[in-house]
Amino acid sequence: MFVLENRVQPYAWGTAHAIPELLGTAPDGRPQAELWIGAHPAAPSTAVPAAGGPARPLDEVVAADPAGALGPHRRRDRLGFLLKVLSAGAPLSLQAHPDRATAQRRHAEEEAAGVPLDAPHRLYRDDEHKPELLYALEPFAAMAGFRPPAAARELLAGLDLPQLPPAAAGLLAGLLADLAGTDESAALRAATARLLRAGEEAAAPLAGAVATACRDVDDDSARCVVLLAEHHPGDAGVLVSTLLNQVRLAPGEALYLPAGNVHAYLSGTGVELMASSDNVLRGGLTPKHVDVPELLRVLDFRVLPPPLLAPHRPSGRETVFAPADVDDFALTVLDARPGESTAWERPVPRSLLCLQGEVRVASTAGEVVLTRGRSAFATAAEHPLTVTGAGTLVAATPGGA
């Protein structure tokens, strides 16, 4: 087994205190948005052998012995998931992720076209999909997936808006007409395309007027509009938010975002688990590169309920979040109790993070003791694992574990 030293990503939307508090370090005044625990080549964890030996990047550990690290059922010779702690103090970008077939095709096209991997306009940096789940450690807010267009139309039509400039008035009239369509998916596709393709002359004054009017509305969607307008005034994404589900997670709840799900995290801290990919298609609410045509091609415009992920509980100590439609990852939350032990026998790789207390993880090759904020990696070859102690441990594995 390996004790991990992990890198923090200082994205501007991060909070300054949540990740340092987890790690037991002093805040440095800068945002600390994501703690990456895994083998993604952009920021691999440093793996220190528990039994002693030189430290190496975790991606090098996996590459040196893929069969031993990943087990016999690996799809590729690299770790297929990435565990993170994410802490949002400001809204993230409006975004979605492609399915695997799209990622493979478009990645090959950009490679053939010679688009540098580090180019700001590069869309497909790898050939994988990027489904993800978020397990809330505190109250967590997001917008995710499309709600019925009639609900968005009711909000917008009911606002007390001032006299709008001609371009903005035309945009609003077209939007309300789109949302009145009888085919809900077609209505949402038309409305989303209209908003994201609108020029600043139309979108900015309409977004500003809608945000001002929403201050007097007691509604989650209206409050989201106001929040987004404070951070991204005039952005068309402010208006797109009226089309989306508002999601509020209590601590211990999770949401799941499959391919094509349009979303943006708004606030809160949680454990995020995803396929190990860098493919993000953005439509707004960000200074980063936006590609509206590509985003519209991958979006799922079906009306769906808020994407909460129901857990299953194989024991009184374990809660498992495992999406049914992908096998890239599953997240187990283990409440270790004094005098009891938990055995994990399936020979798969596991990224482990202690959220509180102290837990001991013993394998065929040794053991590690993890306290709050400390993490480890167990290879498939070291199983079974036995967990004892008193605390909360999260474990990321391939699906089916």
Q: Which residues are tagged catalytic?
A: 282
Concatenating the DSSP letter of every residue in 99-124 gives -HHHHHHHHHHHHHTT--TT-TT---
Q: At 62, list the tokens.
A: 């996996």
Question: What whole-number distance in Å separates Cα of residue 71 and Cα of residue 73?
Answer: 6
Q: Which residue shows structure tokens 């190496």? A: 56
Question: What whole-number distance in Å separates Cα of residue 347 and Cα of residue 354?
Answer: 21
Region of 373 (left: φ > 0; alpha: ψ -120 to 50; beta: rest) is: left
Give the count of beta carbons closer than 10 Å to the beta carbon of residue 101: 11
Please report, in angstroms and rounded to a whole number, the separation of the first and last CA atoms in the chain: 18
* Distance of alpha carbon 4 from the chain centroid: 22
Phi, psi dihedral angles at 145 (to 5 degrees): 75, 160
Residue 110 buriedness (CB in 10 A; 0-12 / 13-18 / 19+): middle
Contact in structure between 85 and 354 (CB atoms under 8 Å): no
H or E element, residue 362:
strand 350-363
Give the count of beta carbons closer than 10 Å to the beta carbon of residue 285: 24
Residue 303 buriedness (CB in 10 A; 0-12 / 13-18 / 19+): middle
* Alpha helical stretches, state H, 285-385: 292-298
Name the nearest CA neighbour of 294 among 188, 203, 145, 193: 193
Contact in structure between 156 and 210 (CB atoms under 8 Å): yes
Question: What whole-number distance in Å separates Cα of residue 124 and Cα of residue 261?
Answer: 17
**E strands, 103-177, where?**
132-136, 140-146
Question: What whole-number distance in Å separates Cα of residue 309 and Cα of residue 157?
Answer: 33
